[in-house]
A and B are shown apart, each in its own frame.
Chain A
Amino acid sequence: MYPSVKVLSFLLPLLCWHSVSADPQRRDDTDWLKTMAFAAHQTDYSGTFVYQDGVGGHVAVSRITHILDADGEHERLEGLNGARREIVSNNNQVWLYVDDRKIRIERRHGERTFPALLPEQISSLKENYLIKLAEEDRVAGFHVHAVIFQPKDNLRYTHKMWAHNESGLLLKAVVLDERARIIEQYAFTQLTLGGKVDRTWINPDKSFPPISNKDDVTPLAKLATDSKAADWQVDALPGGFKRIMEVCRPMRDKTRPVTHLVYSDGLAGISVFIEDLGGREDVNPGLSSQGAIQMYRRINGDKLITVVGEVPPRTVIQVAESVRYAGQ
C-alpha cells in the first residue's frame, strides 16, 4: 500500500505541472470564446453527448444536430432518456416537444441585432474572469484545447471549456463552484463534423400532433417601447453585469405581457422577469435549479419577480431581492 501512496504523491505535482505548462498559445485568450461562438453557429455537426447535473447526479444522453445552409440555421436536440423531449429549431422558430405536447416558441434570433458577444462584453469578460489556457486533450476522438474562465468573485461560476482545435466547436464543458465542485458538465461521446452530417434527421418528426391550441404558441417578444422596463432597477447586480436587452414579452398562459430584462458579464446571463401577480395563488416563491441554471422567485407587493441565470444561488437571490421600481 505505502509504495503506491508515495508514487501517487510524487506523480500529483508532476501531473499538475504538466497541465500548467501545456503548449502556451500566442493568441488572445478571449479569442477562444469568439471562436467557439462563431463555430457554434457556422459548423455543421451531429453527435451524441452526455450531460451530468452535478448537484443531483442526474445523467442525460442527448442527440444533437446543427446545420447551416442557404435557409439559415437548423438545429435539433433530442433527449434519449425518459419521456420524449426534444427541441427543433429553424432560425427564429423553435418547437419544443414535451410530454406529448408540441409548443412553438418564437425567438428574435433571426433578427436579433446583437450577437451576444459584443466587443464591450469581451472586455468586461476580462474584468470579471481570469482566462487561462489549460491542457490539450482529446474528446470524442477530436483534438481539443481547454480554456478556463475563473471568476474574480464568488458570485459566478468557473467555466472550463474544451474547444476543437480546428473548428473551435465546444466539445466539452464543466461548470464549477467556488469550492471546485462540479455543478454540471457535458461532453460529446461521438461527433461527426462537416459534410458527413446526416441532414434528413433535422426534419421534425411528423408523429407529434400539429399545434391546435393557441396556448401552445409563445408569441414573439417585442423590444420594450414603453418606459415600463426602464423604470425597473436592479441595485445589487454583481460587478460587470450590464443590461444587454429589455423586452416586453407576451408569454403563454399570461394575460398581460412580462417585462424581461437581460444582464450579461460576457459569459453568464441573468434574466429578470417582472409581471403582475394578478391574484394568482399557484406561485411557488423560492429557489429552484437545474445544473448551472438557478431560478429564484419572490412576490413584491402585487408583482411577481423571477430571476433566472447561469450563476450561483446566492447571486439570483441577491439580484431578485434588489429589484425595485424606480418610476413614478
Chain B
Amino acid sequence: MKHDISALMDGELFEDEADALLDKMKKNPQTKQEWQTYHLIGDALRQPDHVCKDISASFRERLQAEPTVFAPRRRVTQKARYFALSAAASVMALALVAWMSMQVATEPAPQIASVSQQNSVRPASFSSNSVNDYLMAHQEFSPSTDVQGPASYIHTVSER
C-alpha cells in the first residue's frame, strides 16, 4: 500500500491503477496520513531549510527510520524497456558487490558498503576550534595515532 501511494505521488501508476488506489484510500482514512507523510517527505527533500524547523520531533524520528527515497524514475511507455533497466541495475549491483569484496571484506557474503544510503542518525560534524582542542588532546594519547602517524591528524586538517 505504502509503495502504491508513493508510486501514485510520483505519477508512476497507470490511470486505472491510480483510480483503484484513490478509491481504496477514500475508504481507509489511515492512508490519508500516509499520503500527507509522503508529501512532507517530498517537501523536506526539496526544501530542507524551510521544512525541518516546523516538523515535530516524532516525524523527524520517523523520517530517519524511512528508507532513502531516490528521485523517482520517469515512467517509460514500454514495459520491456523497464525490465531492461532492472536487469541493468541488477548487473550493476552485482558488480558493486564483487568490487566491494575485492576492496573491503573477505567474508563470503559482503554487504554492499554504500556511502550514501545511511538511515542512521547523522550527527553534526565538528567545526569550531574549541572542538579541535579536544580532538588534539585525544589524539595525543590514542593508540590509533601510533599506528597512523601524522595521518591521524587528518580530522583536524580536513576542511569541511
B76 contacts partner chain A, Cβ-Cβ < 8 Å: no
- Complex: A231 Cα to B124 Cα, angstroms: 32
A327 contacts partner chain B, Cβ-Cβ < 8 Å: no
Q: Mark A210-231, 1 if CB is under 8 A from B, else 0.
A: 0000000010010000000000
Partner of A81 from the list B97, B121, B138, B159 (CB cut-off 8 Å) is B159
Contact between chains at B95 and A176 (CB < 8 Å):
no
Which residue from chain B places its CB closest to the CB of A56 in the assembled complex? Answer: B125
Q: Give the 5 A-B residue pairs with the shortest CB-CB distance, closest first.
A: A82-B159, A269-B142, A40-B149, A60-B158, A116-B143
Q: How many residues of B contact A (CB 8 A)?
A: 61
**Measured between C-beta atoms, what is the minimum distance from A181 to chain B in Å?**
5
Partner of A135 from the list B106, B129, B159 (CB cut-off 8 Å) is B106
A287 contacts partner chain B, Cβ-Cβ < 8 Å: yes
Contact between chains at B111 and A180 (CB < 8 Å):
yes
A129 contacts partner chain B, Cβ-Cβ < 8 Å: no
Total number of residue pairs linking A and B with CB closer than 8 Å: 240
Enumerate B119-146 residues with CB–CB distance to A below 8 Å.
120-126, 129-138, 140-146
Given known contacts A5-B91, A19-B102, A266-B143, A181 and B125 CB-to-CB distance under 8 angstroms: no
Chain A positions near chain B (C-beta within 8 angstroms): 1-2, 4-5, 8-9, 11-13, 15-16, 19-20, 33, 36-37, 40-41, 49, 51-58, 60, 62, 64, 66, 75-79, 81-83, 85-87, 89, 94, 96, 98-99, 101, 103, 105, 107-109, 115-117, 121, 132, 134-135, 148, 160-161, 170, 173-174, 176, 179-182, 186, 218, 221, 244-245, 249, 251-253, 260, 262, 264, 266-269, 271, 273, 286-291, 293-295, 306, 308-310, 313
Q: Which residues of A contact B84 (CB under 8 A)?
A: 1
Contact between chains at A5 and B142 (CB < 8 Å):
no
**Measured between C-beta atoms, what is the minimum distance from A153 to chain B in Å?**
17
Chain B positions near chain A (C-beta within 8 angstroms): 84, 87-88, 90-91, 94-95, 97-98, 101-108, 110-111, 113-116, 118, 120-126, 129-138, 140-151, 153-160
Which residue from chain A places its CB closest to the CB of B103 in the assembled complex? Answer: A174
Q: Which residues of B contact A174 (CB under 8 A)?
A: 103-104
